[in-house]
Structure 1
Amino acid sequence: MTDQEKKFLLKISRMYYFDELTQAEIAKKVGVSRPIISKGLQKARNEGLVEIIIHDQAFQTINLEQEIETAFSLVDVVVVPTADMPAEIAKSVLSKAAASYVLKHLKDVSKIGISWGTTLYNLVKEFPNEAHDDLKVIPLVGGMGSNRIELHSNQIAYELSKKLGCSCESLYAPAIVESENFRDLLLQTPTVADVLEEAKKIDLAIVGIGNPYMNSTMEEIGYLGAKELRSIKEAGVVGDINSCFICADGSIAKDTINERVVGIRVDDLRNVGKVIAVVEGAHKVEAILATLRGGYIHTLITDEQTAVELTLKMRGQK
């Protein structure tokens, strides 16, 4: 590039970006055609004479969304800006964003399935009251017990149905039972079998993703003890979705506690039109990545820090 050409590109760039003249106005002033101005402005950017910087917190989250969405062919990724927010406020902001997203995607939905856990409890807590009396809410996994009852799927399904002004089902069984034989007996009872069959016909599923080894709701409630944790670790489990334990490649772990879970299998989620996962916490990155590799969800909604850690892991930088 000659000095004269560089001077010309800088001149039209100043007129366009600083003086805010249109390309046609600049062309008239300098005595050339508008296409020459257009090509000149593009060349100024290509040569590094002009650098456009967007000072917007949301800009980073958009890049994160696009990177994750493209890598796993997802329908949607929503990264909620939460940088520098106190933990409780960040959780509330994430839950409100997730609730808003769900409400916008209720068109052509008649049955909603929902799982359980702290993140989904917070989601329903932030859900606005909006009448959808034609809907029905169905728990996707068993939910009985006296410990932290507000986190169980039956209670979450009931609370969501109240917010939506609609009906709901209850799955009268624990999420995890003592033995595979007991689970098989439960699956034969009409009250359990009918609800699980209906759960397979939902139009939209809302699920959480968990790390069984850190900040685990299942361990807190008592479903996971030292024996179970050893078993799933030996099986290569890195996370769970709807209480189904999965390995790093996204496959369902075999010969584990999975055989004692009362709920729909994650394989059934592949037949659901819309599966939305709401996840909070960078300690769940391995579990999120496994879920994405398994192709179990269509939409991921998460906080900014978790998305940053996830993309670093995807790039092999962690």
Structure 2
Amino acid sequence: MDRKTTSTGDGRNPAAPPPEFDDVVVWAAWLYYVDEMTQAEIAQHLGVSRASVANYLQDARRSGVVTIRVDGGTLEHVTLSRTLAERFGLASASVVPALPDAPVDDRLGAAAARVLTRSLVPGDIVGVAWGRTILAAARAAEPTSVADLTIVQVSGSSASSADFAPELCTTLLANQLGARCVNLHAPAVLSSRDLKERLLEEPSLKRQFGLIRSATKIAFGVGELGPESTFAKSEMIAAETLAEARRDFDAKGVIIGRMIDHRGAPVASPIEDGIVGISLEDLRRVPYRLCAAGGVKKIEAIRAALAGGYATHFVTDSATAEALLSVP
């Protein structure tokens, strides 16, 4: 049958295809799969109904004009994602391919931004931590039409000049999403518990912490404790104090300035009494907790964070996923 003149079944004949196409089915398939037009746009272009376009596309698959193939690597990452979610009791896990020559923070940040923005609903209050991966997520986030969003900083500000400072991550994400921004105007670490407790009695900070505890979602990373780590370079803690925490307290990782052991339990670190920011207990109370972390150096820290149940949703790379699953 010559489909150039075939009726659509809705009383209308399609426009004649350009000479380079065999028939209207091939033309419709090209417009859909190559030019990425919607079925509604194709229907208008051809002068037929959307139902006719759907029939053309189905005919293209049946006849072999279009062949859909799922890449084996993609299937592997889907399997890794499901296995990770099952192993660590996650609502979901997303695994991106590991690329040796590409910065892992940028790729994980971009993936985390996609996961986070897809989850947003009107009225969400999103807590934002800090670090290179979270900054990359803020930069990669695309504007959204979701109304009444609030982005709130969950950790005090650092004196460091590093570009991954808490207030920058929060401000940038809020600007990208067109959301209200609430920064936490207090140092990340104070010199004593007494000073911290007195500062947190200030009405403005009490309101801010009330907002933090009302967060419906939170995005955070996981840090390791080596001398070249983000935590070390944040200047929140002296190098010798960090070494002491690793040696004397068996600290394995850090989440939003809070150190954890191999089980994910809080570690009584030398700076714990002076930290201004969300507690690990309050972190666990946030309904949707997106953790984005990867890299060989962070395996021990990430495993500890997942064991502690701090994440409900997890974004990582395939090499990290395989390493996390390699230990029974």
Please confirm whether the aligned pair reaches a TM-score higher than 0.5, indicating the same fold: yes
* Alpha-carbon distance, 1:146 to partner: 4.8
Q: Specify which of 241, 247, 250 is matched with residue 228 of structure 1.
A: 241
Distance 2:199 2:102 in 1: 39
| TM-score, structure 1 as length reference | 0.76
Distance 2:324 2:268 in 1: 26
The 5-angstrom pairing of residues 34-73 of structure 1 reads: 56-73=72-89
Distance 1:304 1:255 in 2: 32
Q: Specify which of 133, 136, 141 is matched with residue 122 of structure 1.
A: 136
Aligned twin of 1:296: 310
Q: Specify which of 242, 260, 264 is matched with residue 250 of structure 1.
A: 264
Greater Cα shift, 232-241 or 60-69: 60-69
| TM-score, structure 2 as length reference | 0.74
- From the superposition, tell whether residues 254 and 292 of structure 1 become closer, same or farther in structure 2 (CA, over 3 Å): same
* Alpha-carbon distance, 1:220 to partner: 1.0
User: One-letter code of the match for 2:116?
Assistant: V
Work out whether residues 119 and 280 of structure 1, in 8 Å CA contact, stay in contact via their aligned partners in 2: no
The 5-angstrom pairing of residues 56-205 of structure 1 reads: 56-84=72-100, 86-88=101-103, 90-107=104-121, 109-148=123-162, 150-205=163-218
Aligned twin of 1:208: 221
- Aligned-residue RMSD, C-alpha: 1.8
Distance 1:109 1:238 in 2: 36
Deviation track 1:217-242 (CA, whole Å, cap 9, x = no partner) reads 22113222233113311111100111
* Alpha-carbon distance, 1:174 to partner: 1.8
* Alpha-carbon distance, 1:109 to partner: 4.9
User: One-letter code of the match for 1:73?
Assistant: G
Deviation track 1:212-267 (CA, whole Å, cap 9, x = no partner) reads 22532221132222331133111111001111111101111125322221101011
Identity of aligned residues (%): 25
Distance 1:209 1:230 in 2: 18
Work out whether residues 214 and 283 of structure 1, in 8 Å CA contact, stay in contact via their aligned partners in 2: no
Deviation track 1:96-115 (CA, whole Å, cap 9, x = no partner) reads 22111111101255200000
Distance 1:299 1:205 in 2: 10
Aligned to 1:87, the other structure's residue is in SS state coil
Aligned to 2:325, the other structure's residue is in SS state helix
Work out whether residues 176 and 260 of structure 1, in 8 Å CA contact, stay in contact via their aligned partners in 2: yes
Task: Structure 2 unaligned segments of length 5 or more: list them.
Answer: 1-69
Distance 1:144 1:121 in 2: 15
* Alpha-carbon distance, 1:294 to partner: 1.0
Deviation track 1:23-55 (CA, whole Å, cap 9, x = no partner) reads xxxxxxxxxxxxxxxxxxxxxxxxxxxxxxx86
Distance 2:170 2:293 in 1: 18
Greater Cα shift, 283-292 or 177-186: 177-186
**Number of residue pairs matched?**
258
- From the superposition, tell whether residues 178 and 218 of structure 1 become closer, same or farther in structure 2 (CA, over 3 Å): farther
Distance 1:63 1:98 in 2: 19
Work out whether residues 121 and 151 of structure 1, in 8 Å CA contact, stay in contact via their aligned partners in 2: yes
Distance 1:208 1:202 in 2: 17
User: One-letter code of the match for 1:243?
Assistant: G
Work out whether residues 237 and 246 of structure 1, in 8 Å CA contact, stay in contact via their aligned partners in 2: yes
Aligned to 1:206, the other structure's residue is in SS state strand
Aligned to 1:151, the other structure's residue is in SS state coil
Distance 1:225 1:290 in 2: 23
Aligned to 1:237, the other structure's residue is in SS state coil
Distance 2:159 2:274 in 1: 16
Deviation track 1:70-124 (CA, whole Å, cap 9, x = no partner) reads 112110011111345x223x54332222111111101255200000011101111
Aligned twin of 1:217: 230
Work out whether residues 132 and 165 of structure 1, in 8 Å CA contact, stay in contact via their aligned partners in 2: no
Distance 2:293 2:266 in 1: 19
Work out whether residues 236 and 247 of structure 1, in 8 Å CA contact, stay in contact via their aligned partners in 2: yes
Work out whether residues 110 and 135 of structure 1, in 8 Å CA contact, stay in contact via their aligned partners in 2: yes
